A and B are shown apart, each in its own frame.
Chain A
């Protein structure tokens, strides 16, 4: 029996009380491309960070080529022949390709022998069919080329196992083929590739075997041969999802309130994260947007709330163009409320008290203030009222909000945003890190707002939660909608495929 490149026995990882990884068993055969599939929060990145020495496992063992090893740091990982291509490149933009590749390479001595290394790297680059200009500064290179530099970095350190973390997330479509070819080449040369992805097309194209993870556990491991993409989708996403767990009336939605056409926007790295998103939003409807994190949802939410300027497209509210509006204007004139993705760093100021955070978005207006002076009594009264009605558990209104649990923090934010009586709500990841009881309350609050005629955009990676409340579900992948399903047709399989990049409809309605 050939020794497997990697074997994980009972690997577990705890963050405080939270179990991120639970008894992971995994075997990666040498010289193959092994893919790890899973949604966000499944634990893939945590696992990979353990393999690369950035985290330490709390339980279990890792075997590399038959030897049980401990990997306390990235240097140790490299010593064991494990290289990692991170999703966000670890390259120094101002340095050249060669300099990046030899950065931190042990055994270099006193002089920087760029020429010597250059010729060796050049030979390596040719062998793999990479066409990289070695002396160009990295910032001048396109993403696909930079990725090759990262691969060369690992290869030059004689990595035998190379882990790719969501490698196509920042590539342009044309560059993806180049990557897949590169992966095949690596396999031909006897390298072992671990491919972390949620894009089933790529898995089907190059992977030999897959491990599917969900909620920190391995749910399946088998050869790709003979598997349909729909099978893979189901394994990745499928569970007995209880639909319609909320017994509410569903009146018909009202007139169109918000209309988006062809919205395109760049993310903080300058890549086009939102490509051409169009949709209509009606009063009294919940429009769910599902998708694996990092496919443009954040950018879409930011464009809608005014934090991000789009590159193209239009956004109108009741016919009026709202793109020129500032964040403040969108909130108060256009009446768009939002629940931010990162509640702790954007939605709240952790060191301020509960009652101060309650006033965070409206402190310059009545009744929270009058003519430039805050009215703390009024602020406290309002906060107390919200706390009671939204069941926010706390010790005192004066408590710093950082001492509240995630669920209670979220409930506070919901109270703040819903009580402002908005016309539109943009809700992003409302149930992330929130306990079951709070989730119930939040979902009910959203349904209540819907009943009162609010138009709601509900963006989440939690399929179960979207399906429980949404009237229709769109799936976003690679910055575009790959499909839009009415509630009745939104099955887990179909959504799973859409999330994995298999487009159902060529363009969204």
Chain B
């Protein structure tokens, strides 16, 4: 416990917490958008994994992390199109479609990673270097934590308020919110609900892909099978905890990042405290939120339901 008071340790711990939460934040903002519009995005897990895969392949091909970023977005968009096509277009159960995509991505990436990169699959890839912001990064503790991160992290800082603004301060965000609660109102106002949902899903998956790209390009610099390890599901939990609000979800992600940082330290540090306590924390918190909020705060009312205009 006296560790906490040590500034070097604190800085290190907080910095690590933030870095662990960045992929969650990207995914969570994506999920907020999708679910506020009425579509469950359980495939976010697959999008993170797909994004990570794309980042690895792209970087390897082009020799530049920007290429990896691009590839991550391409793959995530393809997944978004697939989810949109299955769940919104064909009207398949959104959860089934999402699970199917997760399984597809898991299998495909495990196979293709080695096919494409061959024996270099385990070699470390070039990533985004840390880019400290001058002046700001010199502030004690806060500086190194917040302002000595990679470019994708800075992107995440921007995406959170941007996501919030788009949702609450633009006409399009208004439509998205309405489509998740009362799609009929949107339809009779003359706006195509299916197209709205499709675009939300696409954007949502792309954000998930960014999260995966971050893990590869700024954290571990390599792709391993199933490396998303449930982060997508944690993001789902963060969204519930954050009450489907981008800011709330982001804060929940930060909390989960902290829990993750703690459990990692415990895993390699003190064997007396079971690290599993901390690794289960995000899931238990999300469950508690679900139970407590049921009846009080609802998920967007029309989420999960296929929208069909009755009659033609």
Contact = CB atoms under 8 A, between A and B. Distances in A.
B109 to A, nearest CB: 37
B7 to A, nearest CB: 43
Contacts of B171: 102, 104-105, 108-109, 112
B110 to A, nearest CB: 38
A56 interface: yes
A55 B311 contact: yes
Interface in A67-112: 73-78, 84, 86, 90-95, 99-100, 102-106, 108-112
Contacts of A374: none
A91 B312 contact: no
A104 B311 contact: no
A49 interface: yes
A105 B172 CA distance: 10
A384 interface: no
Given A73-B190, A104-B175, A112-B169, A91 B185 contact: yes
B191 A104 contact: yes
A54 interface: yes
A54 B182 CA distance: 17
Contacts of A86: 188
Of the listed residues B182, B186, B190, the one surrounded by the most CB atoms of chain A closer than 10 A to its CB is: B190
B311 A100 contact: no
A98 to B, nearest CB: 10
Contacts of A84: 188
Interface string B65-79: 000000000000000
Interface in B178-192: 178, 181-182, 184-191
Interface string B294-312: 0000000100000001011
A56 to B, nearest CB: 7
Contacts of B169: 111-112
B189 A74 contact: yes
B170 interface: yes
Contacts of A77: 190
Interface SS of A by simple majority: loop
Contacts of A99: 174
A112 B174 contact: yes
Contact of A90 (B173, B174, B177, B189): B189
Contact of A111 (B170, B182, B185, B309): B170
A104 B182 contact: no
B10 to A, nearest CB: 41
Interface string A175-214: 0000000000000000000000000000000000000000
Contacts of A108: 171
B312 A104 contact: no
Contact of B177 (A54, A74, A92, A110): A92
Nearest to A55: B311
Contacts of A75: 190-191
A90 B188 contact: yes
A90 B173 CA distance: 18
Contacts of B312: 55-56
Of the listed residues A93, A94, A104, A106, the one surrounded by the most CB atoms of chain B closer than 10 A to its CB is: A104
Interface string B36-57: 0000000000000000000000
Contacts of B168: 112
Contacts of B182: 90-93
A103 B178 contact: yes
A103 B169 CA distance: 12
Given A55-B312, A111-B170, A94 B181 contact: yes
Given A91-B185, A92-B182, A102 B174 contact: yes
A105 to B, nearest CB: 7
Given A99-B174, A104-B175, A112-B174, A74 B181 contact: no
Contacts of B188: 52, 74, 84, 86, 90
Nearest to B188: A90
Interface in B126-158: none
Contact of B309 (A54, A93, A104, A110): A54
B59 to A, nearest CB: 34
Contact of A49 (B181, B190, B311): B311
27 contacts: A52-B188, A54-B309, A54-B311, A55-B312, A75-B191, A78-B190, A84-B188, A90-B184, A90-B185, A90-B188, A91-B182, A92-B185, A93-B181, A93-B182, A94-B177, A95-B174, A99-B174, A102-B171, A102-B174, A103-B178, A104-B175, A104-B178, A104-B186, A104-B191, A106-B190, A110-B170, A112-B173
10 tightest A-B CB contacts, nearest first: A75-B190, A104-B189, A108-B171, A90-B185, A104-B191, A92-B182, A90-B188, A92-B178, A74-B190, A92-B181
Given A49-B311, A90-B185, A104-B171, 19 more contacts: A54-B309, A55-B312, A74-B187, A74-B189, A74-B190, A77-B190, A78-B190, A90-B189, A92-B178, A94-B177, A94-B301, A99-B174, A100-B185, A102-B174, A104-B191, A111-B169, A112-B168, A112-B173, A112-B174
